[in-house]
Chain A
Amino acid sequence: MNEERSRALEALAARRWRLALTLTGLMLVTYFGFVMLVAYDKPLLGKLLSPGLSLGILLGACVILVAWALTGIYVRWANRVYDVELERVRGIGAEPKPNADTKNADTKGEE
């Protein structure tokens, strides 16, 4: 396989894993932070912020929102950056296409 393409693919894969692990880490911290509060400071979570709303319920709902948000961030990045970049890298070394996007791709392309 083409050297340049190979290196570009590797770099892109590393980028994806880095983001995936970072987001996993954020999810872990959020969820286990919540669980630890439940375990260590029950009175704090039981504190009422307004009638019907305890801090615990608010934080629990926030964990669900964080889960949605992190998933959204990943999917957006993957659709807008990763997929586009992957298409570009795929093109390296292949037939040059008459397309502005692939300008980088066909400069050094050779099999």
Chain B
Amino acid sequence: MGQGPASSLGTPNVTAIVFFFVFIALTLGITGWAARKTKTTSEFFAAGSKVTGFQNGLALAGDFMSAASFLGIAGLVSLSGFDGLIYSVGWLVGWPVVTFLIAEPLRNLGKYTFADVVAYRMRQKPVRIASAVSGLTVVTFYLIAQMVGAGSLVQLLFHLPYEAAVLAVGVVMLAYVLFGGMIATTWVQIVKAVLLLGGATTLALIVLSRFNWNPLNLFAAAAEKYEGALAPGKLVTNPIEAISLGVALMFGTAGLPHILMRFYTVPDAKAARTSVFYATGFIGLFYLITFILGFGAAVIVGRDVVKGIDKGGNMAAPLLAEAVGGTAFLGFISAVAFATILAVVAGLTLSGAASLSHDLWVHVVRKGKSDETEVLKVARLATVVLAILAIGLGILFKGQNVAFMVGLAFAIAASANFPALLLSMTWGRFSTAGAVSSMVVGTTSAIVLIALSPTIQIDLLHRTTAIFPYKNPGLFTMTLSFAAGIVASLLRPDPDAARKFAEVERRIQLGAAGSDD
């Protein structure tokens, strides 16, 4: 134990390349199979609603366990100890909220996108446009963070030029979504979730085997090596900041378009409920495991080595894999990390394509009248456009610190999408004007406040002060969004929407069968 040898990271790793190609071959095989089953819009966007609760639980976990949480949290724990727990706990507690408030009503009210729910009883055009804008903003920021992460990761792991790496991710992802739609995307998520959970668990077990199978021995060793590793550190310094971060993490999950879209892939509300139950279990387990990996990396690899390879600590888990399992295991974990990014990017792109084609094309341009063939064509065109956009943005943001963009995506999701969703399902007087205002105010205020925050002003632009003092605007922007939604609804009521609320309530319980009887 102690100081590991110098890492082979950055030199081509045969195992990584082999595993990587096996994964690509397997998932493209799945895509080919899925492509033959993808003929209708319902199959393209929602896998024909034939995914079981358990499968969807795994796929939800796959969609949510991004490289940012696998590599990022393990890295944060390895470098700052306890503070990493604040993030992992925050990301998990969003899931019970999704279970209680969102999953079942969403399944029963909507068809392909979360805008279906918000727009259900409102005037279609303004609400669809507003939710497409807020949804696509979330997707875009999340996508940039993933693409830049993918580029740097592949560059480091496979010794490929950054641009080639971004291009490769974009093209493979495009193949999944374009040909296999939601069926392929779902199975890619499932394969990835199993690999990621399996790989992380194996790594954690190897680590624990060195500490007499007792995590407390590991934690004690970490505390001995790095004083204060088990106590709160510098991450949370200000109570307002802490609550604001918590709000974004917790309610952001309930507003992520690619997560919400997954609830349409199951047959009914009961299966939606079951799927979040499994997802919560898998994700919680995963975060407990990353905690062990982080401390394992701190003790076995050492903070200096972790920081030496990547300042943010993102390479903690791969380095740990190399230290305990050699280059072969490093290769496996690297391939898993790459598969993770690919799968998340595919999910994001599909939800973006659904928003562009189903919300904007069908409901705004065609006013609800568009036939299957046309919608499928538009959806595939939108997929290609989004893939090009993702590759372009990935290359444009090369070398930039984009970690804040995941935070921004969560802040917008929490303050633009979540309030509109919740109010549309629970408050009869919520009107078209209210829905549009809450989404517009939520999106703009989150972007503006982050632009004025220390993250951008001080860390990125190197100014001495920031106009807005907090790094996390979630608490303020979510409040603003709720306030805007309520005030606008009271000022500009929507009698039609209010009248249709009874139908919404009925349909939340009974599904499509309940609306027409």
Contacts and interface: CB of A to CB of B under 8 A. Distances in A.
Range class of the B interface residue count:
35 or more
Given A53-B219, A78-B273, A68 B284 contact: yes
Range class of the A interface residue count:
35 or more
A90 B100 contact: no
B101 interface: yes
B287 to A, nearest CB: 7
B510 A90 contact: yes
B223 interface: yes
A64 B219 contact: no
B172 interface: no
A75 B510 contact: no
B246 interface: yes
B400 interface: no
Interface stretch (B22-30, B60-68, B87-95): B87-95
B220 A74 contact: no
Given A31-B246, A86-B509, A63 B219 contact: no
Given A46-B232, A54-B230, A36 B276 contact: no
**Which of B86, B96, B220, B509 has the most A CB atoms < 10 Å from its CB?**
B96
Contacts of B89: 31, 34, 60, 63-64
A38 B234 CA distance: 10
Given A45-B232, A60-B89, A36 B284 contact: no
Interface in B38-93: 82, 85-86, 89-90, 92-93
Nearest to A10: B505
A70 B96 contact: yes
B230 A48 contact: yes
Contact of A45 (B220, B231, B242): B231
Given A52-B218, A75-B273, A35 B242 contact: yes
Nearest to B215: A52
Given A56-B230, A60-B89, A79-B270, A35 B96 contact: no
Secondary structure call for the B interface: helix
Contacts of A28: 250
Given A57-B219, A61-B288, A74 B506 contact: no
B479 to A, nearest CB: 14
B186 interface: no
A34 to B, nearest CB: 7
Nearest to A36: B239
**Which of B241, B276, B277 has the most A CB atoms < 10 Å from its CB?**
B277
B469 to A, nearest CB: 15
Contact of A71 (B96, B223, B231, B241): B96
Interface string A1-17: 10000000110110011
A50 interface: yes
A56 B88 CA distance: 14
Nearest to B244: A35
A51 interface: yes
Given A52-B220, A63-B89, A71 B280 contact: yes
A67 B231 contact: no
A18 to B, nearest CB: 11
A57 B273 contact: no
B97 interface: yes
Interface in B483-511: 505-506, 508-510
Given A35-B90, A39-B236, A63-B92, 12 more contacts: A21-B101, A32-B246, A39-B241, A39-B243, A46-B230, A48-B230, A52-B215, A52-B220, A60-B86, A64-B89, A67-B95, A71-B99
Interface of A: 1, 9-10, 12-13, 16-17, 19-21, 23-24, 27-28, 30-32, 34-36, 38-40, 42-43, 45-46, 48, 50-54, 56-57, 60-61, 63-64, 67-68, 70-72, 74-75, 78-79, 83, 86, 90
What 3 pairs across the A-B complex have the smallest Cβ distances? A46-B231, A52-B220, A52-B216
